[in-house]
Chain A
Amino acid sequence: MTAHDFTALLPLMILAAAPVVIMLAIAFRRSHGFTFSLALIAVILAILTLLWKPAPSSHKLTQLLVIDGYALFFMGLILVAGLFTLLLSYGYLNIHKESREEFYILILTALLGSAILVSSVHFASFFLGLEILSVSLYALAAYMRMNELCIEAGIKYLILAAFSSAFLVFGMALIYAEMGTMEFSMLAVRMTPGVDIRPILLAGTAFIIVGIGFKLAVVPFHLWVADVYEGAPAPVTAFIATVSKGAVFAILLRYFVQVDMPRGNPLVVFLVCVAVASMFAGNLLALFQDNIKRLLAYSSIAHMGYLLVAFLASGELRVTAVVFYLLAYFIMTLGAFGVVTILSGQERDADRLDDYRGLFFRRPWLAGSFTVMLLSLAGIPLTAGFIGKFYVLAAGVSSVLWMPVICLVVASVIGLFYYLRVIVVLYTPVPETAAAAGPSMPAGVLALSVLMVLLVWIGVYPGPVLEAIATIGVLP
């Protein structure tokens, strides 16, 4: 291993070493603050090592991993999201009686898994990363052991994620049987376009899409998502919604950009249907939810549908649109669940719509941030969500995908309806009751404020971010 390899792998090494260090630290002394600081330092160190690179040149490490601009960008995105999750979790865990320290170990292993996932170019590392991520998430989803909903969420997530992993492995096996390789780039070489697609290959790819579909929770693989979002602790929900889905989408893009699918391919047609169905089903199901976490769960289905529209486009706008939308989605989802986290009490999370009635008059700053997050989710100007949706539409129009584009327009108008409903509730005055002031979570509020500033800044002046995205390059 050369020094250069070592530098490239440093973020992964830090993420792998940190859980061990924290475990040892817990063995010596249980201290929430200390463990939190360790985890925070580990993540910040990992982020700094990402920046400490000569140039985003592609660097292949064995057949399994490649550390290139694309991987670095997504690692950065995931680690920053992890950082925000940590900040949100600290206050949240403080008010709960559960043993707190192990939470951070699981977050770090989940981050390790997703970092491997986004840098993998081989089925083995793909699967390895995904499993490290998923196993950590099973435990995280069920972390509040005394809460029935939480246990339910954990079990549901366990069963469905294991199920989808089985699909994924089977699909990989089929492709390997046919092509004799598990490297993405080799697959791309051997799959010459224009030649008829062999049935086994098609079946293999279909199984992989099913597996990924479960992870992304797109229709018709979305049934777990509302229950898991509702039951899991709010910071974990934020983590599942962003890091897990984002990493899987990153690998999906990486894989399919290399292994190109011609138009009219049954799988492409299937993906178009999935995108349209996700946009409509997600938004329609969210319409009548009185539970904020479920509402955001269904809205996330719709957002995955929007992303798929960009993903189905061709040309250079495709990668920009997907990456930018994912970035915006990370910020606004973390922000929205951040508000839920900060308002949550010891007994239960603040997930009922009634918990938010008149929030503006009690905690104007929180209500303001929530409004901005919701407006961004709805794609209203001055927010990153608007620029994201603009790019998705642009990508769709440039590839003449008129049907999905018009569906997107109609679906996002349906989406507006429930975002507005929540916003109205925030500003509805309530009779002066003994409004419990709620616990204050300074770290969480800080994280939320940073997210809001980012959201508006990127929404108004996205130039630098777009330039950064333009340089990443999806092909290793």
Chain B
Amino acid sequence: MARMKFICDTERCIECNGCVTACKNENEVPWGVNRRRVVTVNDGVIGQEKSVSVACMHCSDAPLS
């Protein structure tokens, strides 16, 4: 069976943090723990800014991997 992946297209990611709060909401994740976050590189640099949603990658058997 195929292994499910969480794919993020940096051409589409606008750092809306929807993935972050959806995870918080669905899993009732407590304050201070974030299983997902959005990383923005070259923030504010014209033509070079990109955002990508990443998992924390701390679980050995991650529910959202």
Q: Do A and B bind each other?
A: no
Point out residues on B near A: beta carbons under 8 Å: none
